[in-house]
């Protein structure tokens, strides 16, 4: 199998529980990069939240890319946007309406900031702000202009509250937007991440690969959570589920590797790339 692109989720996949790239995984990805294979983060994070890790891998510049906001944006690492699927002020108002169905926080992500109308910030919102090097702006609805656009919304809170909230959401919610789940298990929190209906990691990888002249069967994807599911629904990608992945990914995977705290990416890549030397 000739591989030309590796697309990997970050949290729970590329990164260990303490948000590091393990030495073995770093070595494996740098080896792939030197072989001319594109190493592309496919994350719910914004660009400031992925650049420090790519810098650690010595991957940078105009000819390298990141899939961000769960596929809401595809950017060159220099910042140029290639694909953007935004949400509007009308979406914001609808999300605020749906927020009333549960005891959850809600924030809206632009390229540079988090915006929220909540005065009491959730733990996961504060943690995400720190991890992604993005400041939170607290605003009243009256302070938000009607031409406001954003890339992703996130409902967040304790896992049990998010579960109850999700059960209260009507089917039309999932028909109108692309909603997926992720969380920080160590904090006992969960999120529902909401994008434009046409935005997903799987579609963004397909679009970027096509742009670069890479066939889908030359792409390897790594993931662990519900927001990675779209990558695993493409039958042409070679799909690697982490050992800590949810069962829905493992059931669709071509290979289940070790978990993110046990060099899972390195373990899989050493097997995959052995035939490509």
pLDDT given for residue 186 in this prediction: 47
pLDDT given for residue 122 in this prediction: 75
> What residue segments make up the domains of the chain, in order of their start?
5-84+199-276, 87-195
Nearest alpha-carbon partner for 124 in 155, 152, 156, 165: 156
CATH code given to domain 87-195: 3.30.1240.10
HEC string of 162-215? HHHHHHHCCHHHHHHCEEEEEEEHHHCEEEEEEECCCCCHHHHHHHHHHHCCCC
Read off the pLDDT of each residue in 228-255 and give the average, rounded to a whole number: 96
pLDDT given for residue 158 in this prediction: 87
Indicate the pTM of the whole model: 0.89
pLDDT given for residue 1 in this prediction: 61
Fold that domain 5-84+199-276 belongs to in CATH? Rossmann fold (3.40.50)
Burial of 196 (0-12, 13-18, 19+ CB in 10 A): buried
pLDDT band of residue 277 (cuts 50, 70, 90) is low
HSE, CB side, 13 Å, CA atoms: give it for residue 175: 3
Strands 38-41 and 5-8: parallel
Q: Lowest-pLDDT range, 58-67, 128-137, 166-175, 221-230?
A: 128-137
Contact by Cβ (8 Å): 28, 40: no
Read off the pLDDT of each residue in 236-254 and give the average, rounded to a whole number: 97
Above 80 in pLDDT, residue 183? no
Catalytic residue numbers read: 9
């Amino acid at each position: 199998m000739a591989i030309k692109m590796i697309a990997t989720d970050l949290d729970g996949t590329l990164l260990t529980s303490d948000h590091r790239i393990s030495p073995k995984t770093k070595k494996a990805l740098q080896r792939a990069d030197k072989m001319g294979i594109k190493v592309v983060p496919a994350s719910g994070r914004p660009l400031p939240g992925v650049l420090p890790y790519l810098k650690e891998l010595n991957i940078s510049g105009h000819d390298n890319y990141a899939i961000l906001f769960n596929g809401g944006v595809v950017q060159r690492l220099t910042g140029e946007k290639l694909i953007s699927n935004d949400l509007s002020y009308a979406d914001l108002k609808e999300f605020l309406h749906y927020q009333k169905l549960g005891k959850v926080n809600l924030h809206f992500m632009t390229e540079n900031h988090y915006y929220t109308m909540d005065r009491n910030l959730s733990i996961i919102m504060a943690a995400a702000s720190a991890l992604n090097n993005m400041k939170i702006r607290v605003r009243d609805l009256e302070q938000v202009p009607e031409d406001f656009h954003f890339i992703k919304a996130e409902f967040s809170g304790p896992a049990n509250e998010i579960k109850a909230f999700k059960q209260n959401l009507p089917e039309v919610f999932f028909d109108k937007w692309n909603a997926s789940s992720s969380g920080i298990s160590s904090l006992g929190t969960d999120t529902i991440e909401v994008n434009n209906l046409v935005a997903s990691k799987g579609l963004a990888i397909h679009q970027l690969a096509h742009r670069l002249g890479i066939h889908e069967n030359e792409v390897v994807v790594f993931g662990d959570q519900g927001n990675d599911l779209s990558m695993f629904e493409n039958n042409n990608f070679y799909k690697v589920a982490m050992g800590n992945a949810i069962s829905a990914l493992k059931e669709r995977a071509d290979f289940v590797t070790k978990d993110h705290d046990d060099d899972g990416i390195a373990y899989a890549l050493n097997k995959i790339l052995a035939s490509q030397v």
